[in-house]
A and B are shown apart, each in its own frame.
Chain A
Amino acid sequence: MSSHREAPEISKDPVADSSDLYAFVSPDRPDTVTIIANYVPLQGPDGGPNFYEFGEDVLYEIHIDNTGNAQPDISYQFRLQSDLTNPDTFLYNTGPIQSLTDKTWNRRQVYSLTRVEHASKRVAVLGKKLPCPPCNIGPLSTPNYSALAGAAVSNLAGGISVFAGQRADGFYVDLWAIFDLGVLRPFQADHATFGLANTGLAKMATGINATEGVNVHTLALQMPITQLTRDGASPTDTTSPSSVVGVWTTASRQKAKVLNSNPAKNVETGPYVQISRLGNPLVNELLVPLSKKDHWNGQPPAHDKQFAGGVSNPELAQLLPVLYPGVFPNLAACNAASPNRAELLAILLTGIPSGVVPGFQNFTTHTQSDMLRLNMAIVPATKPSNLGLVGGDPAGFPNGRRIFDDVATIELRAVAGATLPLVDPSYKADAAAGAITPGLTSGATDLTAMGTESYLSSFPYLGEPYSGFVAAA
């Protein structure tokens, strides 16, 4: 998936497992940027009585590089606290939860938001005791969920809006198929099937969204663009380096933990150690070998040169011609020539410099570093393409990432060679490279991929979480 359960160790620590990161100029407030970091992936909505929540022993951070050196210039820190209203009941709620202060809501979380400016070491607590909404349980427990979630959007000084709580997972991907040895249902009849007969793959099919019906826990921030730029200005020049920021999220735990039979007496101490990281979607998931994925999670972006080999010569690119014989002949020839895929290195690790795509750049640094790079001078599209830049829409991925961007298709096509001619005009991409898709949208203008129809048109943009009651019905 984008980064759901992408590494062996972090997959066992879901509250610290970042699953998706989005950064885009807010379409309804284009003087602001929205950044969304999702954690606690693949939540079954009916997972009670202990419904999902953030880790109160986890430090969640969203980092901004606005000087192009792959180092954090600004960090936003979220620290959660869990409170129990009634210690004598096993129930999450003892009646309908009508408001965020309702005493029938037994297990709740609040959080603080802190902004750190690293150069000046200025630390500002932007909000304390900010409320999270409850999980969406059902028509009796959370009868007006929209109102509850809306009340959990906190508007802070300086024009900042923040939300922390459950949302529907907006990412879409056909997990059922792709991890069954690379099946893409729209192309499955061309799969080699390892010589197996009667696999049921003889006919092409449409994709199935594996994240339909599951929830995540979202940390969402919307702030004026002027609070993110290095000079405090609102960028208008798309060619200027100062218009571009790099964004990534991390989760950290304290280094030492001593367990007690009474968990309230557990001891956690020492400096925070980063255990989860996410910039561009699917980088750790697809381009880093299993043995290094958790190491990748613990590294800062500035150290990503050590992983560049998996980007410049991706294992998946080597596999595609093998899994789909005869479909990717030009990619196979490229693979045989010890490729150094400069276009993938640019898209994922440095940003795309000026001159590669006419009128576009999101280059930050020659320091190879996985960050979501957003050129904030590019205004939101009036007719967006879910294929982003490769669909002719520079306001979308890999210029940041919007919630509806079909990043699985975009990255599959890029790995398959569709973007290689950008840096090697002599290379002719295979026809399949421009058509390959998991098959979860009806086309590039489809912004309501299967199972994600509940996207919102305003902050926090991700849809209302699936109700456990409805999901079970």
Chain B
Amino acid sequence: MAPLSRRLFLIRSSMAAAAAGVAASVPGVVGTLGTTAADAPAADEAVTGADSETAELSEPLVAHIKDLSTGEISLFNGTREVVTHDPQLANQLFRAAR
């Protein structure tokens, strides 16, 4: 199962807001995520650079923050579940949802 990068998740999340109204349906979260994307680790840049032009959300993507302290987030897309650990992202999503 291929890992889903944090940057790609952010991009797809914002797409999901428009496409499916799921992950980023909280007002203002798209902007928040956009800001966050600019701070993404360098390791993700290649992925982002490659996908930002071409990525399309063909299926809904849902994020489930399981633990804010560890940043454990389950991402559901198609028939896949990818678990990522990113406390910063988890907290940003949490704040966006408040």
Q: Give a binary string over B18-38; 1 marks a CB under 8 Å from any A CB, 0 the rest.
A: 001110000000000000000
Let me know if B41 is at the binding interface, CB within 8 A: no
Complex Cα gap A270–B61 (Å): 9
Does residue B77 face the partner (Cβ distance < 8 Å to A)? Answer: yes
Query: A270 and B81: CB pair below 8 A?
Result: yes
Could you say which of B20, B76, B77, B80 has the most chain A C-beta atoms within 10 Å of its C-beta?
A: B76
For residue A211, give the distance in angstroms from its CB to the closest CB of chain B: 35
Q: Is B51 an interface residue (CB 8 A)?
A: no
- Asked if B3 is at the interface of the complex by the 8 Å CB criterion, the answer is no
| Chain A residues with CB below 8 A from B74, complex form | 270
Q: Would you call B62 and A271 a contact (CB within 8 A)?
A: no
Q: Which of B22, B59, B64, B77 has the largest count of A CB atoms less than 10 A from its CB?
A: B22
Residues in B neighbouring A260, C-beta threshold 8 A? 21
Which B residues are CB-close (under 8 A) to A256?
Answer: 62, 64, 76
Within 8 A of A (CB), among B51-81: 59-62, 64, 74, 76-81
B22 touches which of A267, A271, A272 (Cβ 8 Å)? A267
Question: Complex: how many Å from CA A288 to CA B22?
Answer: 38
Question: Known interface pairs A270-B62, A270-B76. Does A255 touch B20 (Cβ–Cβ under 8 Å)?
Answer: no
Take A267-B62, A269-B59, A269-B61 as given contacts and tell me if A258 and B79 are in contact as well, using a CB distance cutoff of 8 Å.
Answer: no
Distance to closest chain A CB from B42 (angstroms): 30
List, sorted by A's number, 26 A–B pairs whose CB atoms are closer than 8 Å: A254-B76, A254-B79, A255-B76, A255-B81, A256-B62, A256-B64, A258-B22, A260-B21, A265-B21, A267-B20, A267-B22, A267-B60, A267-B62, A269-B60, A269-B61, A269-B62, A269-B76, A269-B78, A270-B74, A270-B76, A270-B77, A270-B78, A270-B79, A270-B80, A271-B79, A271-B81
A residues with CB within 8 A of B: 254-256, 258, 260, 265, 267, 269-272
